[in-house]
Amino acid sequence: MCAGLWWGSKDVQPILALHGWQDNAGTWEPLLKMMPGHLSVLALDLPGSGLSSHLLPFQQYYFVDTPLFLRRIQLHYGFGPMTLLGHSGGSAMCFASAALYPEQVKGFFGIDYLVYAYKSDQRRAKVAGSTVDKAIELALRDMAQAKSYPREEAKRVWVEATRGSVKPGTVEILMKRAVAELPNGNVVFTRDNRLKAGLLEMLNVEQVEDIATKVRCPVVLIRAGKSHLFNKGIKNCPHILDTIKKHAKYFEFLTIDGLWYGPRDQKPVVGLHGLLDTGSTFEGLVSLLQVPAFLSLELPGHGQSSHIPLGTVFHYIDYVVWLRYVLKNYYKWDDLTLLGHSYGAGIWQYYSGLFPEQVKHFISIDTAIFMILAKPEKTVESVRYVFDQTLELEKRLKEIPEQEYDDFEEMVEKMYENRKKRFPMTREACRTILKRGVTRSPQGKYSFSRDLKINTRATGMLQFEYLLALAERTTCQVLFLECSEGLLKEDVLHRSPITTKALEKAAKRFKYDIVQGGHHVHLEHPGNVAPFINAFLNS
């Protein structure tokens, strides 16, 4: 028997969703509650998982059997070509199905995994015997004698078994389809023990590379920034993403990333870096702050977050939309404490003016307030300039490969020289930013990870009058820190005092201080900044 959960109308063909190894269909519940109402999704419990049947004694679970499982589902319902959605092991199953049945798969979305391949057949032969023995041992276990737990302890056991990668709230959802309750109120896990044995039939590198050439449908892969599984899975197939991109109708690889400091069960201060910087900009400051936790997000095109696709341009409000989704839809936080530097502080002020009821504190470190369009009559000229810049850059990106460097320190020097033209940074500060600002190829070469398209001016820059209206709506507690050698020395910011006055009038509490240092004082001299922030938050 195959079980599942069907969200949406049964009058339209659903997306087929496959969970990760040892999970179940409940894993999709939080995400699917956010999906557009017109979509239909059938989340399947794979054999041995959730409410689906176990295999017969001494049968094993094989990754390569999954495309047949999906094909049976398709034929049973009379579905046409399928759209697939997979997480972890389920993503690998979507990948295999797209290759084996290219005419039956319209596209697939893979989350935080693609595939695993053995690099060495000798290694594979060495571990296969112990895997066989483990599978037999697990098959012989008497389910009637399975250990039972109080529900809360079972939840804790699950969290610990995943080393904390699955949180208690998520486990509660998964347990709806993964435990049976006994008369005494305790629960036992119901998934097939044999799923713990490991896979007996795995593919080698050559097989996986060949499978990748058979994928024709559109492919979207999403790597979780804090997870090591995606990269671990493809480490023996370093060119597989390029292979898929070459053969697939469409290919996109996305990452949403950031740095979380402190306990994950505490609501953090949310930090946002400046233009061309990365999430590591707050590394030194965080250790000096008297806060329970700190989340340093990375804007699209920066650090380890994804680039926007070619053919699109950056809009200033796009950043607000992205951040709103992360904070409201994903984390479901309110009473936010937002801390931003430079460009990031400008975006947070935009956010605070749009959603004043959601923000408790807004802390700005040397911000330019906003990217301001100087005069209304400059609108057409400004937008035309952005479009021309974008087209020229896209042409260059197609014709000229990204520059590569042999040595990380060479990149540090490059950044140091570029930055000192306007806002000088120390070499050590450059190193900190570049911890999350470079990628390394399989050949050991380095390149900058940032999206070159962020060098073009964002469209949708704000009229000063609109900026003033947003400032008048910012009712949270505000701390404005100006650097003595920072942005506010620039003539372009001559109207900042006007918006500062508007903020001071509208804010529940407004504090303005001058910090000794340059534009990146929080990075170069965090001890100069932390006392102001701690005093503000603790008063």
The answer to whether 498 touches 468, Cβ cutoff 8 Å, is: yes
| Nearest one of 260, 265, 252, 256 to 280, comparing CA atoms | 260
The answer to whether 276 touches 328, Cβ cutoff 8 Å, is: no
pLDDT at 373: 56
The answer to whether 264 touches 324, Cβ cutoff 8 Å, is: no
Which residues, 6 or more positions from 200, have their beta carbon under 8 angstroms from its beta carbon? 60, 62, 128, 131, 132, 135
The answer to whether 17 touches 90, Cβ cutoff 8 Å, is: yes
Which of the residues 49, 88, 305, 352 is marked catalytic?
A: 88
pLDDT at 494: 45
What is the residue-wise DSSP string for 355-415? -GGGEEEEEEES---S-B-S-GGGHHHHHHHHHHHHHHHHHHHHHSPPP-BS-HHHHHHHH
**Cα 347 from Cα 359, distance rounded (Å):** 13
**Cα 74 from Cα 77, distance rounded (Å):** 6
**Cα 412 from Cα 426, distance rounded (Å):** 10
DSSP state of 295: E
**Cα 91 from Cα 113, distance rounded (Å):** 6
| Nearest one of 283, 279, 276 to 522, comparing CA atoms | 283
In degrees and rounded to multiples of 5, residue 339 shows phi and psi of -125, 125
Q: Annotated catalytic, 88? A: yes
Neighbours of 62 (CB within 10 A): 12
pLDDT at 459: 63
Task: Give the pairing of strands 219-224 and 105-111.
Answer: parallel
What is the residue-wise DSSP string for 34-99? TS-TT--EEEEPPTTSTTSPPPPTT----GGGHHHHHHHHHHHHT--SEEEEEETHHHHHHHHHHH
pLDDT at 295: 95
- pLDDT less than 70: residues of the chain: 199-201, 225-227, 255-257, 368-378, 442, 458-462, 488-496
